[in-house]
Structure 1
Amino acid sequence: MTATMIHKPAVEDRTPSSSSPLLRLQLAPTGSAPALIDGAWWPRSRDLTAELPALVAVLDPLWGRITRVTVNPTFWPVVPRRVPVHGHVVKVGWFRAEQDPHKLLLLSYTVGRWDLLVIPPETSAVTAARLMTTATDPSWSLTASGLIQEAEFFRTAAEADWDSARERVWDSEGGQDVRRTASHGPAAVGLDRVPMPAAGR
């Protein structure tokens, strides 16, 4: 499999003068060793009819005319049978058990086949950037789902580190003493000293 790196940095979400947003796509470098993934695509939605034309328009001149695309329907609510793209029609198929749910497979009957990692549209820009870099690094050999799981691990670990750092700051600024006072200190005792109304009032 051969691919070319384009649109780098790929995660910039700018809108050119044509008012159509840039394609968020990054491909493995030309001449790199065959890998499980040829690139990463970060669509803006899970609507294949809306998303595929721009992707195919960029890939056609690079890889030869894309004639067929397959997906796993797990994350695609509607899988159309055909999608019209610039000057031709791309047939769309799906495989539930045989295809990684985070992968898009593209076929060209003049050149070959390519596999793209599909980054979920709701992914943050930071995580998407990490995924695009990892997916196009020839030294990595993770599946599409493996890349997503690794990114989720890093995201969770980063959030845990952030929470831990916030707690350390809280404690260093006296937050620990305030918590202890709230549960065991004078404020709790003061509640016991509220005078009770006399009987008969």
Structure 2
Amino acid sequence: MTELVVVSAGLGVPSSTRLLADRLTEAVRAELPGTSVRFVELRELAGAIANHLVTGFPNPALREAIDAMARADGLIAVTPVFSASYSGLFKSFFDLIDPDALTGTPVLIAATGGTPRHSLALEHAVRPLFSYFRALVVPTAVFAASEDWGSEGDAYTGDLPRRIGRAGTELAGLVRDRAARGQGDGDEVVPFARQPADLGLD
């Protein structure tokens, strides 16, 4: 069974970050029926993350979340944007991840913010973070500003639903390609020139 891990760094309840994570998950599952999903709410692990940073020891819940991400077939990572970058909680969590744990893992990156001006944080901060991990980041990064959400929590303006669908299709394509190559080849990083063909974009 395909395993998808969804990391959400939203701080509030309800959270637009979690809402975007849910919409992206639905888009991927529409392409990959039967996919098992594990949500990692970093807000619930904030104390454990801080403790791990100073002691070097994770509690069981944090250890389980880290292990689940390392064995996932695909990853969705969503952060709110503060001061034109990812949140401190989001970065602190990924500071705990082994540099080799996500090598070759397909990743869909997304973010939320109050204004579209923050959307570039995905390209100058979040994408380079996952490049450091040698993950396979899908071409379409999804940013949702406050104006993209309706009063009932639905994506209703602009092209946000289209971008969500496209990003979900891209992640599903990379997950299928990785499965076809076999998990034993998971350390192989697909050259950039091959990625459009793998995603059906050529």
Q: TM-score, normalised by structure 1?
A: 0.29
Choose 1 or 2 for highest CA Rg. 1
Which one has the bigger helix percentage?
2
Q: TM-score, normalised by structure 2?
A: 0.29
